[in-house]
Amino acid sequence: MQSAVDLSRPGLPAGLKAGHGTRRRSLSWILIAATLVSLLALLPLAFIVWVAVQTGWETASALVFRPRVGELLVNTVLLVAMAVPISIVLSVTLAWLTERSDLPGARLWAWLSVAPLAIPAFVHSYAWVSLVPGLHGLWAGVLVSVLAYFPFLYLPIAAALRRLDPALEDAAAALGLGPWRVFARVVLPQLRLAICGGSLLVGLHLLAEYGLYVFIRFDTFTTAIVDQFQSTFNGPAANMLAAVLVTCCFVLLALEVLVRGEERYARVGSGAARQQQRTRLGRVTLACLALPAITALLSLGVPFVTIGRWLIAGGTDVWRLDEIGLALGQTLFLAVGGALLATIAAMPMAWVSIRAPGPLQRLLEGCNYIVGSLPGVVIALALVTITVRIAMPLYQTLFTILFAYALMFLPRALISLRASIAQAPVELERAASSLGRPPLRALWSTTIRLSAPGAAAGMALVALGITNELTATQMLAPNGTRTLAMAFWSYSGEIDYASAAPYAFIMVAMSLPLTWLLYVQSKRMAGR
């Protein structure tokens, strides 16, 4: 054991900080732009605080501490507390089956586990209610929520599973751990980030969802706020409910930060990971096939069968082409406009967070994510109040609705842009500078060009969100606007399910390619 002595060497410092002094000037312009966007994004939040202050403690507490609010809180908490864990278990199982076992048709099942995202949540609900008219209450809410939103968990978990280095599992096996213990002690901990992120996304969607719960007559904060808004416009009651809802969102965000922790899950070491081996299912193959099959049947079969049935029942009469064409045109216009605005607004923030990270930048970025996690109804309510009280000419204009979309969907654009900017090496920017381009042009000709695919993907995701958006559009869009979602909503509200069917069909048909894009992107992120 003599060698122990020569073996010990002082540890190297973990990493050297790279200087960022060279591009101060262009950086400061971009930083100002990023700050401006973040401040604008904080507008709805500032509004909530302002309203709370203005309402005064007595009125506010009278509005907040009442049985109705408690009831809504119980409903919402129960919904999240049941739907999220069920989605986690379902998604982890599906992801393992499709990524790490020799399940027949794994690729097909993987795609079918993502496809439910193409169906707006309120269309899921519409399908279930017209199939089982008696469906309502908490359990119905949990069922439809899980079916509509579990892909948000499935996608990151499947991607993380694919990225896992099989050498770790080999190492654990060599250290004497059986397959189940390897899964519990090595695989599952490494999925933690994916599970946390996905759960947060599902939780926030549950808090924000409106249409889904109206169909099955389950009251949450969001449905209550919209009801309140429809009866008393932007009265203090609605605003106070919104404040409680925002608090719920913050609780979820804080929970996620707490559970996620500071751990690192990236692969340590260099070189390419070797190909993963798939577990042989053997005799249990058939039993294992049942899970993805039943999930696909409930999450895709039910909506498609219902829409198909109503389309057949309605015949050609429901295809009022002028009306549908108009709605389609308006939806596309809003979707493209909102996507462009959100992407342009996200650009400076994305660049700053990758190229010049720091505490201020992280704070700014955090603002954008927090606002993006607020329910559409809260942002809409804030913008309604602000425009009515301060800038009346802007009330229910194209500007306001696009602004709201940009606020709501900025994080989607930001995440895609960040990922692709991170992949564009900074050396290229420097090379362009050394070849004589001034900083901003160097940036344009290298990083921004290279991040174009990421920007496009981000825009597609924003457009997808806008196409299926209902509450904010209803509250903010100029008079006479009738998007696909609004038309669907008003027909189904009149129980004219047949007339609503073509709109549901078009929304799904438009969303499917975008969902496919999402699926392909997640595969590519995992390096395949």
Partner 1 sequence: MSFLELSGVQKHYGPVAALAGVDLSVMRGSRTAIVGPSGCGKTTLLRLIAGFEAPDQGRIVLDGEVLANGGAAVPAYRRGIGVVAQDGALFPHLTIADNIGFGVVRGADKRTEHIVELAYIVGLDKAILKRRPHELSGGQQQRVALARAMAMKPRLMLLDEPFSALDTGLRASMRKAVAELLEAAGITTILVTHDQAEALSFASQVAVMRDGLFSQVGTPRELYFQPKDRMIAEFLGDAIILPARIADGFATSPLGRIAVDTTERRDVARIMLRPEQVLLKRTSREGMSGTPEMLFGEVTESEFAGSMCTIAVRLLNSPDPPDAAAIGNTPLILRKPGMDAPALGEIVRLTVSGMAHVFA
Considering beta carbons, is residue 263 or 427 the nearer one to partner 1?
263
**Is residue 5 near partner 1 by the rule CB under 8 A?**
yes
Tell whether residue 22 is a contact of partner 1 (CB under 8 A): no
At CB < 8 A and 24+ separation, what contacts does 421-429 make? 421/350, 421/351, 421/354, 421/355, 421/447, 421/450, 421/451, 421/454, 422/354, 423/450, 423/454, 424/450, 424/451, 426/355, 429/355
Give the single-character DSSP code of 234: S
Under the criterion CB under 8 A, does residue 283 sit at the interface with partner 1?
no
Q: 101 by DSSP, 3-state: which? A: strand
Residues making up the chain, counted from first to last: 528
Instruction: Tell me the residue type at 197.
Output: G
Residue 190 in contact with partner 1, rule: CB under 8 A: yes
Which of 19, 21, 67, 178 is close enough to bind partner 1 by CB under 8 A? 178
Among positions 176, 393, 436, 480, the unique one binding partner 1 when judged by CB under 8 A: 176
Contact between 323 and partner 1 by CB under 8 A: the answer reads no
Instruction: Supply the minimum distance, in Å, between the C-beta of residue 63 and partner 1.
Output: 45
Q: Work out which of 43, 177, 291, 356 binds partner 1, going by CB under 8 A.
A: 177
Among 173, 291, 370, 422, interactor with partner 1 by CB under 8 A:
173
Q: Are 252 and 77 in contact (CB under 8 A)?
A: no
Burial environment of residue 148 by CB neighbours within 10 A (0 to 12, 13 to 18, 19 or more): buried
Near partner 1 by CB under 8 A: residue from 18, 258, 266, 392:
266
- Judged by DSSP in three states, 451 sits in coil
CB of 26 to partner 1, least distance (A): 32
SS3 2: coil
Q: What's the token pair of residue 79?
A: 């919904």
Q: Could you tell me how many residues of this chain bind partner 1 (CB under 8 A)? A: 41
Q: Which is nearer to partner 1, 4 or 495 (CB)?
A: 4
Shorter beta-carbon distance to partner 1: residue 57 or 180: 180
Least CB distance from residue 186 to partner 1, whole Å? 6
Nearer to partner 1, 190 or 416 (CB): 190
How many angstroms separate the CA atoms of 133 and 121, rounded? 17
- Using CB under 8 A, which of 72, 158, 186, 226 touches partner 1? 186
Q: Which residues pair with 279 in a beta bridge?
A: 101
Burial degree of 232 (CB within 10 A; 0-12, 13-18, 19+)? exposed
Tell me, what amino acid is at 456? A
12 binds partner 1 (CB under 8 A): yes
Does the protein bind partner 1 through residue 258 (CB under 8 A)?
Answer: no
Binding mask 150-169 for partner 1 (x = CB under 8 A): ---------------x-xx-
User: Which residues contact partner 1 (rule: CB under 8 A)?
Assistant: 1-9, 11-12, 14, 165, 167-168, 170-179, 182, 185-186, 189-190, 192, 263-271, 277
